[in-house]
Structures are given as C-alpha cells and as structure tokens.
A and B are shown apart, each in its own frame.
Chain A
Amino acid sequence: MPEKIVVDARGMACPGPITKLVRAYRKAKKGDIIEVLATDPGFEPDVKAWAERTGNKIVELKKEGDVIKAVIEVTAK
C-alpha cells in the first residue's frame, strides 16, 4: 500500500528541508507520496533540482503565504 509521508520543515533554515526530504525518501517506497512543508525560500529551487536528479515526480508545488508546499510522488525507487 502506498503511503503518504508528511514532512514538516517549517521554520528550518537551509539545508533543513532537504535533509528532512532525503531522510523521508530513504524510508519511502515506490508509489509513496511525500509532502514537504517549508518556509525556507531556497527550498523551491532545491526541491526542483532534487526531483530532476533523482527522477521523482513533483505532483504539486505551491506557495501559501510563507509556506512552500511540495508534493512528491516516489517514482524512481
């Protein structure tokens, strides 16, 4: 069963959000959804670069106020 993993990295400065994403990704399996919430502005370009390199899919990337929400489908594992 694919699972949804929520990673709350709000208030964490660089490289906090990516660190948390990498750690969640290690435990994830194919088909899982990782949702990351972050406030670090550097997270948006970083998560795009990460998804491109690892071959995982960004399903949603949006900004609500100060919070960046990225929803990633684990497709590369």
Chain B
Amino acid sequence: MPEERVLVLGAGTGGLVAANLLAYHGYKVTIVEKSDFHLFQPGMLWIAFKGHRPERYLRPVEDLVRPGVELVKGVVEKVDFAERKVTLGDGRSLSYDKIIVALGASLDYDAVPGHRQLFESIGDYFGGADAAAKFWSHFSKLTEGTLVVAAADPLYKCPPAPHKAAFLAADTLRRKGLLGKVKVVLALPFIHEYASETMAKIIGPKLREAGIEVKTMFTVDSIDVENKVINSLEGESIEYTLATVIPVHGGPRIEVNPPNAVDEDGYIKVNKYTLQVEGYDDAYAIGDCTNAPTSKTGVTAHLGAEVVVDRIMGFEARFTGRTNCPVVADGEAAFVISDYEHPPVPVRFSKMKRLMEDLFIAAYWSSLKYPEKWQAVFRAYFEATSPAVLGERGW
C-alpha cells in the first residue's frame, strides 16, 4: 500500500475523480470541500432554461466519496506550496506529501457595473443551482420582449454555454408558442458565432435555424438595470426585457505561497502537460483553477485528474488539453473537439451525439465515484474521437 498522503482541494469533477481513483489504488486521501453538495454544473442550463428540478443535478458530497477517502468540510484559505501546508477558514491546518488543487474558477459579479444588481434580482445559469432556479422563475413568466444572453469576458467555463442557453431558451419558447413574441438575442465576445471559426460555420446556421439573433463582438461592459440596457466594450447597446450575463472569471480566491505560483488573474501556473505547479514536484493543479491554455470544462478536469493520478503512481502520463464541449441544440448535439496540438475540428450536429451526451449525464455520478469502471469506456471514446484521428474531415 502506498504510504504517501495525498491532499485534494475541492470536490468538483476533477477533485472527486482524483480522490476516488487514488483511494481505489490504495492511497491515503483527504479531500477538502466547502459545500455539502456537488453540483453537475451543466445542469444549471437545464434548470434555468428548461425548468428542471435543481435536485436532479445535486448530490451530497459524502455520497460521492468512496470508502477510504477522508472528507473534511472547510473553506480553503491559504495554500503554501513551500511549507506543504493548507490553512482552512476556521484556522485548522493540513499537511501533505502530495497535493492536488482542484478549486475551480471564481466568479466576479463586481467587475462589470450593474452586474451584481442584475444577478441578485433574477439569478443566472452560472452562480449555482439556486440562482438557476431563480432565473427560471423569471424566464418562465416571459411572454414578450427580448431575452439577451451575453458574456462579460471571452474567458469563461464551458465555451458553448451561452449558445446552449440560447438554444434551450428558444426551444422552451417555441414549445410555448412564444418564439417570435419573445426575441432571443445571443451576444458574444467573439469575432464569429463561436470562438473557433471552424465550429462557427457549423453552429451559426443552427442558431439562425432556431430563430436566434446573433450579435458578435459584443463584450458586456456595463448593465443599466433601471433602463434595461446592456452596453458593450465595443461601443454598442442592446435593450432587453430579460437578460443573463456570464460573469468575469478568475482563479480561486485563496492566498497562495509563493505568490508567483498564480498568474495575474489568480489562476495557478502549471506545466500544461504534467499539470505540476511550476517549481514543485509534489503539487498539481487540475481543471478550471489552472492557467493551462485549454477550455475550462468538466472534461479537462476529469482527464487532468487521470493524468495526475497516473503521475503520482509513477507513470509518464501527459495531459493533451483535450476538450469535448457539448453543444446541445433542439434534439441534437455536437462536440467541440480540440487539444493543444489541434484547433477544433468540424463536428456536425446529430441525434446520435445528443444520445451520447444524455448517456454521459446519466453516467455522471457513477463516473465520479467509480472512475476506474469508466476508464476503458472513456478511453475508447477519446481515442476514437481524437482530433488527430478525426482530422479536417471532422465527424
């Protein structure tokens, strides 16, 4: 049995996969989490725009850690890589042989004037299950006017999130016979209808087909909640009846020693292949909390966790930066597939891909708690759909 004590910070996707895999391999693992519940974050879209019950996407963290993992409830206040010490908000401190930081990104509702007021009055689909339920309570009453889906910065979790929001919103409105009376405007901070031009050519026509109006190069700079107007950094304005804006993201709000282990936005600086914290061979960071130049999404957290577990076990695993971001449209889906070496390949919408996404959601809880059971399934999928294999022909 390995004697090393591994400390995992955060029980999101990456943290749970890492902790549960390490425990399976016999490591002594402690996981620290501030919340009682784990939220399947893409579920917020379904709560906010389809009225799904929040409970469907929440599970008690204690039910998701397998025997052998010690769960500590607490807020991480300081991580000291030099002293191998973590301090919690209540003053407790924890030491480690190896550490995996998986604390996710933080959301800043104060970066854009008016944003906090908008968020507190109507919720959104980023700030938690309650916020998403609150948004649904407003969206479900919308019978006319303009729904604006926008973002305050181009860097946010799940690059197709606003597209999915617009697709799901338009679908709900269409089923109520309200699409047209309510106009859906998707305002994006990108040059094209998607960050990648290749995928923009596939997603753009789908958005038009769904009756969604797209505005590109619109980065939210201020929100006038009284007059219901959103102003962009690029100098344009949109009037809205109901609006939702993705907040500016940053690294986890913790104190880090040495201070230069994080970048100017607070993201933990890692080697993008080994996910080791720069300068420390006993420290790793995975998922949304790192500066790795890939998308902030559950897939990268999950794959990163597997790489880090392999490395702790002595294997030469490398993280490829692989993404697999699902774009869900009406009854169909596509995936944005890329890695460090390949920009997104053209992936077309199909019902089969939607089936794969729905199967993944159904398997999600099991894949967190028993990652070893799913490794062969996921590996086959990721190898068969690697951007090098799919190539310019796509999928």
Interfacial residues, chain A to chain B (CB-CB below 8 A): 11-16, 18-19, 22-23, 25-26, 42, 46, 49-50, 53-55, 76
How long is the Cα–Cα vector from A54 to B219 in the complex, in angstroms?
A: 11
B343 touches A22 (CB 8 A): no
B233 touches A42 (CB 8 A): no
B2 within 8 A of A: no
Which residues of A have CB within 8 Å of B190?
Answer: 15, 18
A53 touches B234 (CB 8 A): yes
Q: Name the distance in Å between A27's Cβ and chain B's nearest Cβ.
A: 11
Contacts A14-B195, A25-B233 given; 17 further ones with Cβ under 8 A? A13-B338, A14-B196, A14-B197, A14-B343, A15-B190, A15-B196, A16-B293, A18-B154, A22-B153, A22-B189, A22-B219, A23-B155, A49-B217, A54-B233, A54-B234, A54-B235, A55-B235
B217 touches A15 (CB 8 A): no
13 A-B residue pairs with Cβ-Cβ distance under 8 Å, sorted by A, are A13-B338, A14-B197, A15-B191, A15-B196, A16-B293, A18-B191, A22-B219, A23-B154, A23-B155, A50-B191, A53-B217, A54-B235, A76-B235
B357 within 8 A of A: no
* Binary A-proximity of B219-245 (CB < 8 A = 1, otherwise 0): 101000000000001110000000000
A13 to B, closest residue via Cβ: B343
A49 touches B191 (CB 8 A): yes
A19 touches B155 (CB 8 A): yes
A22 touches B235 (CB 8 A): no
Q: Name the distance in Å between A45's Cβ and chain B's nearest Cβ.
A: 8
B112 to A, closest residue via Cβ: A26
A53 to B, closest residue via Cβ: B217
Q: Name the distance in Å between A3's Cβ and chain B's nearest Cβ.
A: 16
A54 touches B217 (CB 8 A): yes
How long is the Cα–Cα vector from A65 to B287 in the complex, in angstroms?
A: 34
B232 to A, closest residue via Cβ: A54
How long is the Cα–Cα vector from A12 to B343 in the complex, in angstroms?
A: 10
Which residues of B have CB within 8 Å of A46?
Answer: 191
- Number of B interface residues, CB 8 Å? 19
Which residues of B have CB within 8 Å of A49?
Answer: 191, 217
Which residues of A have CB within 8 Å of B235?
Answer: 54-55, 76
Which residues of A have CB within 8 Å of B217?
Answer: 49-50, 53-54
Residues B191-210 near A (CB distance < 8 A): 191, 195-197
How long is the Cα–Cα vector from A19 to B265 in the complex, in angstroms?
A: 13
A13 touches B154 (CB 8 A): no
A12 touches B293 (CB 8 A): yes
B111 to A, closest residue via Cβ: A26
Which residues of B have CB within 8 Å of A42?
Answer: 197
Which residues of A have CB within 8 Å of B196?
Answer: 14-15
Which residues of A have CB within 8 Å of B154?
Answer: 15, 18-19, 22-23
B233 to A, closest residue via Cβ: A26
Which residues of B have CB within 8 Å of A50?
Answer: 191, 217
Which residues of A have CB within 8 Å of B338?
Answer: 13
B338 to A, closest residue via Cβ: A13
How long is the Cα–Cα vector from A26 to B197 in the complex, in angstroms?
A: 23
Which residues of B have CB within 8 Å of A25?
Answer: 233
Q: Name the distance in Å between A54's Cβ and chain B's nearest Cβ.
A: 5
How long is the Cα–Cα vector from A11 to B272 in the complex, in angstroms?
A: 12
B321 to A, closest residue via Cβ: A13
Residues B154-182 near A (CB distance < 8 A): 154-155
Which residues of A have CB within 8 Å of B195?
Answer: 14-15
